[in-house]
Amino acid sequence: MKREEKASISIMKIICVSIILILISGIGVMAVNTNLKDVKIILQNGYEMTALTSKQTVSEVLEENNIVLEENQKTIPDLSEIISAGQSIQIADKSYSEVQISKISEEGVETTLEELLNNYNPITEKIVVEQVTIPYETITKNATETDNSNVTNKVLRQGQDGLKEVTNKVKYQNGIEIEKILISERIIKEPVDKIVQVQKNAQTSRADALPRTSTTAVIGGETYKITAYCSCSKCCGKTSGRTASGTRATAGRTVAAPAKFAFGTKLNIGGHVYTVEDRGGAITGNRIDIYVSSHAAALQWGVRYLPVSVAQ
């Protein structure tokens, strides 16, 4: 009988110990379950995921889910913040909160950082290609040499707008453009400048008024080939307006003549008297170059064949 009692007591002890162990395990499981919490993670591209975690800080939750931040990214809340159940972790560009705070400061709205973060929406990026007009410029050439109210504007060439293709990286938030970064530009069509010449209502110079008819020259019975030039680099390779004789070239007076005419010689060319003040590499034989006020006037003169005589 004593052996049966002892065996019974031993069984009761085992049962009690087992119950105690079960209770301790249950309490441990309940404690673990109590520490688990749901946390929403929102990536920068807008993708959302829910994580069940027992971690405390934002950085620990990201590490647990194998999420690594890039250099230009940050988290909201900050990595060191304690995360609570039901809270969201948002991954955003580092410049985002600065833009938002700047806008709110300009508008004078009072808010807290927590409210600001709760109203956060993801930033989207798009590559935008557009065609942009290149306005033409207007170039004005003054052919009068002096200020004169009695002038008119003559359009020598009409202007045309150009066209270019521009590629930008544009950032949007809440459907609003917040940043635009130029990636490339490509010219599709170059603009054509408009050229306007300001000229007197009357003829610009007596030299331009010479007749276009051809007659026999008085000197040696030869006809002289008369051309025109101005003080631009295209006509004489320089823009100083200084002649070979040292004078300043003047429309209606100065001509470039061959060396057989000394400087200062007066020449009657088609009824108008000019003074030999200049030379030219191409001015030889029976050719004379008349100085005019502009390159446009020189082109307009063209080539003429006129009678030439030495004026007395």
pLDDT at 51: 85
Q: Which of 96, 301, 127 minimizes the C-alpha distance to 206?
A: 301
- In degrees, rounded to 5, the angle at the alpha carbon of residue 273 between the alpha carbons of residues 149 and 244 is 90
Is residue 176 predicted with pLDDT exceeding 90? no
For 19-122, strand residue ranges (E) read 37-42, 48-53, 73-76, 88-93
DSSP reduced 3-state for 87: coil
Does residue 295 register a pLDDT over 60? yes
Local confidence band at 57 (pLDDT 50, 70, 90 cut-offs): very high
**Which residues are paired to 134 by β-bridges?**
162
| CA–CA gap between residue 161 and residue 193 (Å, rounded) | 8
CATH class, 37-118 region: alpha beta
Confidence of residue 173 (pLDDT cuts 50, 70, 90): confident
End-to-end CA distance of the chain: 171
| pTM recorded for the entire structure | 0.32
Amino acid at 26: G
The more confident residue out of 89 and 196 is 89
Say which residue the tokens 């300009």 belong to. 106
Neighbours of 306 (CB within 10 A): 22
Q: Strand 73-76's sheet: what is its strand order?
A: 48-53, 37-42, 88-93, 73-76
Mean pLDDT of 276-305: 88
Neighbours of 182 (CB within 10 A): 9
Distance (Å) of CA 303 to CA 222, 297, 299: 16, 12, 9
Name the CATH code of domain 207-310 (choices 2.40.40.10, 1.10.10.10, 3.20.20.70, 1.10.3720.10): 2.40.40.10
Structure confidence at residue 147 as a pLDDT band (50, 70, 90): low
CATH topology classification for 124-200: Resuscitation-promoting factor rpfb fold (2.20.230)
Q: Which residue type does 21 have?
A: L
Domain ranges of the chain: 37-118, 124-200, 207-310
In whole angstroms, give the CA distance from residue 168 to residue 212. 59
Query: pLDDT per residue over 248-260, tens digit each?
Result: 889 999 999 998 8
Residue 28 is classified by DSSP as: H
CA–CA separation, 227 and 208 (whole Å) = 11
